[in-house]
Amino acid sequence: MKFKEDSRYRQANREAVISLGMYVLFFAWWYFTAYGLGSGDPGEYTYVLGLPSWFFYSCIVGYIGISLVVWAVVRLFFSEDSIEGNDPEEAGGPQS
């Protein structure tokens, strides 16, 4: 019996790769804004809304930005698939 790959596996793998890519993007944003802007003398920090600029851009703006990106990516690239097979006979399940 030859194995036939289900298209849902391909979609799930695609969504997993997209999710990892978004995480890498978020981590890179956080790392470079936090350590790039926060690497100087604390006495010379600039402030945004009472917070150090490195914290504001890495944690506040980064969180809001990645939340919007995740929302858009889920709406555009993710699909809702059933976890159950379409036809039990094709999946090799019990026959009625």
Radius of gyration of the chain (CA): 22
pLDDT tens per residue across all 96 residues of the chain: 666 677 778 888 899 999 999 999 999 999 999 998 888 888 889 999 999 999 999 999 999 999 999 999 999 988 887 777 664 445 554 544
Q: Supply the pTM of this predicted model.
A: 0.71
Retrieve residue 1's tokens: 């019996």
First to last CA, the chain: 21
Retrieve residue 60's tokens: 């506040």
Distances (CA, A) of 44 to 33, 41, 61, 65, 72: 16, 6, 21, 26, 37
pLDDT at position 90 is: 52
